[in-house]
Amino acid sequence: MRLVIIGGGILGTAHALAAIDRGHEVVQLEREPEARGATVRNFGLVWVSGRAPGELDLTLRSRELWEEIGGRVAGVGFRPTGSITLVRTAAELAVAESAARSDTAAARGLQLLEPDAVRALNPALRGEFLAGLHCSRDAAVESRRALPALRAHMAATGRYTFHAGTEARSVADTGSGAVVTDDQDRRHAADLVLHCPGAAHSGLTRELVGQIPVRRVRLQMMQTAPLDEPLTTAIADGDSFRYYPGFAGAEVDALNREQSQAATAAEHRMQLLCVQRLHGGLTIGDTHEYTEPFAFDVDEAPYDHLRAVTETLLGRALPPVVRRWAGVYSQSVDPAAIVTRAPASEHIWVITGPGGRGMTLGPALGAQTADLLNL
């Protein structure tokens, strides 16, 4: 088959890879010179630890696919870092203890560690904490390098073409397939068109499928200069328990009745996530904002909070912050929906809304769509 995929982010690229791996031909269109949305504004984390039980199998499958992709495409920077969620209060410790004895703990690779064991695993953690919930199944990829590496890999098959700086203007169903017309007046005939618009819910998305049950979420993040020692795992703080459905239960309910340790964290719906990039810098975040219109500027208070928490856990000053940014991602409104797939016709589908799970679940969602559509 011949596919046209509209959208050059992780979801569109993962669908392109799934089609290429099944022997099909793919033309991919990206309106920017390079993907600039949530795909490159995230942590690059493949996050197994907090996924809901109902999506755990898909998450583990995606983790396996990322490892397999990393073996084929070294440029994606896959590494099985694992993670440690560091707890500092009794309520957070209760959540970690519950997670470590849950029915899914073994599948997630969860183990509760005393402080000395945490420091043995990740010597950079010399700060203040009561314990650490280690997840050996978590991993990382290089979010800013992965897509160019995957495109080069696909191009080498001779069955993949990428058009950067190219916006799809219209998609028409011909009855036996579809035709995409781009902003350079080129027509791309396809047996199947997959529109993966990310957080662009208007424009072509609305023309194809109208209003769909998705919303936009804004976040703020930052990156430091290189740390002069390895951070051997990704790290999170206990506030992250509030946002990941895999930890839901009475213990999280009790945690939510407590005020976060900082008013800023509660106001901005914050958690600490931190991962070291291959260049040594730390990517740190994040916040959650759900009500539009979103501000065009960034708020400094969350960055102060993130710096303070990270320094408390590391027991040292952070390197200088060299970049700050905001990003917006698409999230399905139904909490039970992992992604929203909306058919415009038999030959045209819109696929968006994985929430903050796009990097984690991209390969598995691409493979799942390929199976659903009999590619």
Residues 103 and 167 in one domain: no
Q: Give the CATH number of the domain where residue 221 resides.
A: 3.30.9.10
Domain count, the chain: 2
Residues 325 and 343 in one domain: no
Q: Roughly how many angstroms between the first and final C-alpha of the chain, as a whole number?
A: 8
Residues 259 and 309 in one domain: yes
Q: Whole-number mean pLDDT of the chain?
A: 96
- Name which of 5, 114, 139, 162 is nearest 60 in CA terms: 139
Residues 346 and 327 in one domain: no
Residues 201 and 53 in one domain: yes
| Mean pLDDT for the stretch of residues 79-107 | 97
Residues 326 and 183 in one domain: no
- Name which of 359, 306, 136 is nearest 233 in CA terms: 136
For residues 162 and 155, the answer to whether their CB atoms sit within 8 Å is yes
Residues 129 and 146 in one domain: no
Residues 76 and 92 in one domain: no
Cβ-proximal residues to 122 (8 Å cutoff; 6+ apart), any chain: 84, 231, 232, 233, 235
pLDDT digits (tens, 9 = 90+) for 298-332: 999 999 999 999 999 999 999 999 999 999 999 99
Residues 285 and 253 in one domain: yes
Residues 70 and 154 in one domain: yes
| DSSP E strand stretches across 49-105 | 83-87
Domain boundaries, position 91: 83-136+214-332
pLDDT for residue 40 is more than 70: yes
Top pLDDT among 260 and 145 is at 145
Give the per-residue pLDDT at 361.
Answer: 97
Residues 183 and 295 in one domain: no
Residues 263 and 297 in one domain: yes
Provide the sign of the torsion angle of the four alpha carbons 350, 356, 362, 366, taken in this order.
negative
Q: Give the CATH number of the domain where residue 76 resides.
A: 3.50.50.60
The backbone torsions φ and ψ at residue 297, rounded to the nearest 5 degrees and listed phi first, read -110, 175
CA distances, 231 to each of 163, 279, 325 (Å): 37, 12, 22
- Counting every residue written for the chain, the total comes to 375
Q: Which two tokens stand for residue 248?
A: 């839901």
pLDDT for residue 262 is more than 80: no
Peptide bond into 286 cis (omega under 30): yes
pLDDT for residue 260 is more than 70: no
| Mean pLDDT for the stretch of residues 233-237 | 98
